[in-house]
Amino acid sequence: MGLFLKKNHTDRITSPWINKIFYGFQIGVFGAIAVSYISIFDSIFLHLIATITSLIWMLSIGAVIYFYIQKYPFKNVLSNGFLFLFITKVCMMFFASIPYFKEIIFYNNDFIMSYLHFNFLGVINFGLLYLLKENNLLNLSRISILVYIAGFLATEFLIAYKGICLWLGWAFFENYFLLLSLASGLFLICVSEWLFRINRN
């Protein structure tokens, strides 16, 4: 996020706002740590820290999105996707800090896998691809970006779907794992195209 703000240094975010956003993000780190620990230590104190800091983090990223969209409305699918996924990730953390949802999430391996998939292949990769493209370090074609997004959405849906099925006691639909493999193959297609462009240049 720091690199994102540096790349899109917006003069609409005044100095006091920058400071508040910066401190909000630092406080949000404690929320991420607290959410990790509540799966081990069932403490109301940790739940409170995770809930409050997640809310502060949501307000901080909300301010970033507000100022960014004012300056660059619908600029780039990767940048908009990164911001949307980032605030969604923080919302997930917030719900995980609530005891009722914590019991559902932390005892379901597929929900954990869904969150990790969302975080690494979604938030982090969208941010990295945006920065690489904007700094002309990687030439990304529109079709390869769309293929990547399709692969991410399909696999994220399927992983989360399996978690929901286990939670509610539903049966998977037929050929679930085959469809998951095919959806994962979309990543191979777009990454192969990116490697081809890198080697060609």
Looking at the fold, whether 13 and 94 belong to one and the same domain comes out as: yes
Looking at the fold, whether 82 and 117 belong to one and the same domain comes out as: no
User: Which residue did the predictor score with more confidence, 172 or 184?
Assistant: 184
Looking at the fold, whether 155 and 61 belong to one and the same domain comes out as: no
> Could you say which of 48, 83, 107 is where a domain stops?
107
Domain housing 176:
109-200
Domain count, the chain: 2
pLDDT tens-digit map of 95-109: 888 888 988 988 899
> Could you say which of 107, 138, 153 is where a domain stops?
107
Looking at the fold, whether 71 and 60 belong to one and the same domain comes out as: yes
pLDDT tens-digit map of 120-151: 999 999 999 988 888 888 888 999 999 999 99
The set of residues, in sequence order, having a beta carbon less than 8 Å from that of 40 and lying 6+ positions away, is: none
Looking at the fold, whether 12 and 100 belong to one and the same domain comes out as: yes
User: Which residue did the predictor score with more confidence, 104 or 8?
Assistant: 104
Please identify which residue in the block is written with the tokens 């081990």: 40
pLDDT tens-digit map of 37-63: 887 777 888 888 888 888 988 888 888
User: Which residue did the predictor score with more confidence, 167 or 11?
Assistant: 167
Q: Rounded to two decimals, what is the model's pTM?
A: 0.85
